[in-house]
Amino acid sequence: MEFTSREFKDFFQNIVDMIEEEKDYLCELDRKIGDGDHGVTMSIGWQAVKEKLDGDLSDEEDIAKINLTVGKTFLNAVGSSVGPLYATGFMRGAKQVKNKSILNEEDLINYWLAFAKGIKERGQSDIGDKTMVDTLAPFARELEAKFNTNEDFYTSFESAVVEAKKGMESTKDLISRKGRSSRLGERSVGAQDPGATSSYLILHAFLSFIKEQQSQAS
């Protein structure tokens, strides 16, 4: 499996569309434990990315530059804590794919592991804190373990997204330990974390994208 710069831009466009569809849902989740604006915040960030995709990035072939621009654009557009987190993910991923316009399966593994680990380090969170890390850490662990066993990116990513979903759903039973929602204490139990949800939706969007690519190729 190979993944081109054009496909990366198409994937990011899919995220733009997906976030618009899920914006109200993400806000609804956030109203239970936060300011109720996670969906709007994500939308603002990704609409700014869309402008870059349609403009400066339309002819860009370097996948690292595409990801750096996406990360910086999201960060500049979004003032809340989620801005630096996602920006770090995409910019750490970019470091793994310097000067490349086509990625092989090992490149993709390194990209997504860097994305997940970058967010974890930037947020200084662990599994159980009721954050994006509850989605991303199980995802990264499974992705690395599966690929080391079978050396097949698609099946490894598919399995990792299953673990990501379990992690996302586990946040319903957790007490929030980070950010404003941590002030709620035990009252945060029962609500699914919006950041864990948006990160799962991005991973799932990539899985859907590569699934469609594979079906078109076969």
Over residues 173-205, the pLDDT tens digits come to: 766 655 555 554 454 565 899 999 999 999 999
**Can you tell me the distance from the alpha carbon of 10 to that of 22, in angstroms, rounded to the nearest whole number?**
18
DSSP β-bridge partners for residue 102:
4
Q: Summarize pLDDT for 27-56 with one digit per residue, the tens.
A: 999 988 777 899 999 999 999 999 999 999
**In the structure encoding, which two tokens stand for residue 44, read together?**
């603002």
Percent of the chain, pLDDT > 70?
Answer: 92
Q: What is the mean pLDDT of residues 10-36?
A: 93
Percent of the chain, pLDDT > 90?
Answer: 79
pLDDT of residue 26: 96
Q: What is the mean pLDDT of residues 49-67?
A: 97
DSSP β-bridge partners for residue 103:
3
pLDDT of residue 110: 98
pLDDT of 158 > 90? The answer is: yes
| pLDDT range class, residue 91, cuts 50, 70, 90 | very high
> Count of residues for the chain?
218
Three-class DSSP category at 170: helix
The answer to whether 168 and 135 are in contact (CB under 8 A) is yes
**Can you tell me the distance from the alpha carbon of 114 to that of 46, in angstroms, rounded to the nearest whole number?**
21
**Can you tell me the distance from the alpha carbon of 148 to that of 21, in angstroms, rounded to the nearest whole number?**
35
- What average pLDDT does the chain have? 91
The answer to whether 115 and 137 are in contact (CB under 8 A) is no
pLDDT of 129 > 60? The answer is: yes
**In the structure encoding, which two tokens stand for residue 185, read together?**
């204490």
pLDDT of residue 81: 80
Q: How far apart are the first and last CA of the chain?
A: 12
The answer to whether 135 and 163 are in contact (CB under 8 A) is no
DSSP β-bridge partners for residue 3:
103
- In 3D, which of 6, 8, 4 has the Cα closest to residue 205? 8
pLDDT of residue 217: 73
Please tell me what DSSP assigns to residue 129: S
